[in-house]
Amino acid sequence: MAIEVLIVDEDEDVLEITEAFLGRQEGLTVATESDPEAALERVRAGSFDAVVSDLTMPKLDGLELCQEIRASRPEIPFLVFTGRDEDDIDDGAAACPTAFVKKSTGTEQYATLAREIREAL
């Protein structure tokens, strides 16, 4: 049975690339959302097994989205996929995500992200 993953990022190009590479990972089915508020509604209404989110987004940032999802679905793994260093994030807010994966160049980051998703489940 495939793991249903929702990727949230306001940048359509990042969504497209992440969906393409993460979707190639065996056992993962990927959906995308560019609006964090719409993503929150989809998670509340849907059957996603994990959420991968950017950190810096309009309306709700990644940590706020994590907190909102935790309020209704505390069991769902929430991974932050960001270009920022984890050390730059407030410790209290940083406690929400299951894991942080650093965006970088190359494709190894997607294998790392897939591994983190699987380990979180």
Task: Provide the pLDDT for residue 104.
Answer: 85
Q: Where are the domains of the chain?
A: 3-120
Residue count of the chain? 121
Cα within 13 Å of Cα(61), Cβ side: 10
Task: Provide the pLDDT for residue 38.
Answer: 95
Task: Provide the pLDDT for residue 99.
Answer: 87
Task: Provide the pLDDT for residue 105.
Answer: 84
Task: Provide the pLDDT for residue 60.
Answer: 87
Task: Provide the pLDDT for residue 87.
Answer: 61
Task: Provide the pLDDT for residue 40.
Answer: 94
**DSSP assignment string, the chain:** -PEEEEEE-S-HHHHHHHHHHHHTSTTEEEEEES-HHHHHHHHHHS--SEEEE-SS-SSS-HHHHHHHHHHH-TTS-EEEEESS-GGGS-HHHHTSSSEEEE--SSSHHHHHHHHHHHHH-
Q: Looking at the domain that runs over 3-120, which CATH code has it been given?
A: 3.40.50.2300
Q: Average pLDDT across each block of 10 residues of the chain; the chain has 121 residues. List them in order.
A: 93 94 92 95 91 90 91 92 68 72 88 94 90
